[in-house]
């Protein structure tokens, strides 16, 4: 056993190269969330998001409809999100470091899985960093006619915590995987004469023992941290409207933090969790009108909570956010549902009261496509 290869953010691959063969186990991760460029404008099914992983590159579209279709968003709302980590060279990275496990031993000494006893709570800052851009068209309760906005954003995971039990499970599953690769049934496959590397690979990956070990390994790696904190920032710009004699102008700027307290619930589903989220957001908002119908800027703060039941592919949630503004307060109360069809395609929906919806019910619907170009990173299994 010499190498482990993790492929992409939504699906990682573990590859152990031994005598020219590469048996592969696909690791499933959480579906891509709505980009900060969308979240800033309050058009997402959920404004409280702490994603475990973000795909290397994703495309997203969101539509919103209110009781009066004339003041809802149009269908022309698109975003792209990019995670640089998977496209740059990573020095001195291995499986344990990728999973934020740490050891007190020197880099040049012999290190075993049991030597990784610590956890780097800041280890995801670079791995989870992403940037996004969105093009949107809607009234946003500012002007009678739909207007165009461009929005850019960035986010990252500031810190995360895993329990000692989670750390031990990762090490034990890794040890079970590598031990299997030296087992008699695997050695017997290598001993068969005339098999090509691809045939050896197929024979190993078709073993029932291999499938069981890989499934257990994947489930262990998908366990959410007991607590995670993500931070994000975004800016939107009003593109102007010559027909209404309006020049381009400041739209909205926001910075926010979202925390996730996750409880693993294996009795409900193999990869199920109950989440309690919290959010605090500061907004400098130009999406308003004064009495003379000119844009002006005001300061707002958001704070709220969200409860979510996350199953293997399906999740249900409810969020409540209150917005303190200079002139009046607003509320957002929305139930949401997310369904992950496959590794690259996710549906999001929300129904409830959004900010400035004047009591009307709003339906929000989002589609996300993750595009992964297999930007693999080869990780050594330790020194």
% helix, strand, coil for the chain, step of 5: 20, 45, 40
Q: What is residue 12's predicted lDDT score, i.e. its pLDDT?
A: 29
What proportion of the chain, given as a percentage, has pLDDT over 70?
Answer: 68
Tell me: pLDDT of 77 over 80: no
Q: What is residue 371's predicted lDDT score, i.e. its pLDDT?
A: 57
Q: How many Cα atoms sit within 13 Å of 175 on the Cβ side?
A: 11
How large is the average pLDDT for residues 318-331? 84
Tell me: pLDDT of 101 over 70: yes
Tell me: pLDDT of 145 over 80: no
Q: What is residue 159's predicted lDDT score, i.e. its pLDDT?
A: 93
Q: What whole-number distance in Å separates Cα of residue 279 and Cα of residue 305?
A: 6
Tell me: pLDDT of 45 over 80: no
Q: Of 4-8, 18-22, 54-58, 290-294, give the lowest mean pLDDT range.
A: 4-8
On the 0-12 / 13-18 / 19+ scale of CB atoms within 10 A, 174 is buried
Nearest to 244 by CA among 294, 287, 297: 294
Nearest to 271 by CA among 305, 319, 309: 309
Q: What is the mean pLDDT of the chain?
A: 75
Q: What whole-number distance in Å separates Cα of residue 119 and Cα of residue 97?
A: 9
Q: What is residue 122's predicted lDDT score, i.e. its pLDDT?
A: 94
Nearest to 282 by CA among 263, 258, 300, 264: 300
Tell me: pLDDT of 66 over 60: no
- Complete domains list, the chain, with CATH: 3-380 (2.40.160.40)
Tell me: pLDDT of 200 over 90: no
């Amino acid at each position: 056993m010499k190498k482990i290869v993790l492929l992409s953010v939504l699906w990682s691959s573990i590859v152990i190269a031994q005598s020219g063969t590469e048996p592969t186990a696909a690791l499933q991760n959480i579906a891509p969330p709505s980009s900060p460029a969308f979240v800033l404008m309050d058009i997402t099914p959920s404004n409280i998001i702490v994603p475990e992983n973000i795909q290397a590159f994703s495309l997203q579209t969101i539509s919103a409809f209110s009781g009066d279709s004339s003041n809802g968003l149009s269908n022309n709302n698109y975003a792209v999100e990019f995670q640089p980590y998977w496209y740059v060279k990573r020095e001195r990275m291995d499986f344990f470091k990728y999973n934020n496990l740490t050891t007190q031993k020197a880099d040049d000494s012999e290190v075993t899985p049991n030597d990784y006893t610590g956890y780097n709570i800041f280890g995801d800052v670079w791995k989870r960093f992403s940037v996004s851009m969105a093009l949107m068209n809607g009234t946003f309760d500012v002007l009678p006619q739909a207007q165009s906005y461009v929005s850019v954003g960035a986010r990252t995971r500031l810190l995360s915590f895993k329990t000692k039990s989670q750390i031990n499970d990762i090490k034990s599953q890794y040890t079970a995987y590598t031990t299997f690769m030296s087992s008699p049934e695997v050695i017997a496959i290598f001993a068969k004469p005339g098999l090509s590397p691809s045939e050896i690979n197929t024979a190993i990956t078709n073993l029932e023992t291999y499938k069981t070990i890989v499934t257990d390994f994947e489930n262990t790696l998908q366990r959410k941290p007991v607590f995670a904190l993500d931070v994000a920032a975004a800016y939107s710009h009003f593109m102007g409207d010559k027909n209404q004699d309006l020049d381009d102008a400041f739209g909205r700027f926001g910075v926010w933090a979202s925390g996730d307290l996750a409880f693993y619930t294996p009795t409900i589903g193999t990869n199920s969790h109950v989440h309690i989220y919290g959010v605090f957001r500061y907004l400098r908002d130009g999406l308003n009108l004064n009495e003379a119908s000119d844009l002006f800027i005001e300061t707002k703060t958001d704070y709220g909570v969200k409860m979510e039941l996350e199953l293997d592919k399906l999740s249900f949630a409810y969020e409540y956010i209150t917005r303190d503004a200079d002139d009046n307060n607003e509320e957002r109360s929305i139930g949401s549902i997310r369904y992950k069809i496959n590794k690259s395609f996710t549906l999001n929906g929300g129904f409830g009261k959004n900010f400035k919806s004047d009591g009307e019910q709003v339906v929000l619907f989002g589609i996300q496509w993750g595009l992964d170009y297999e930007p693999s990173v080869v990780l050594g299994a330790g020194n």
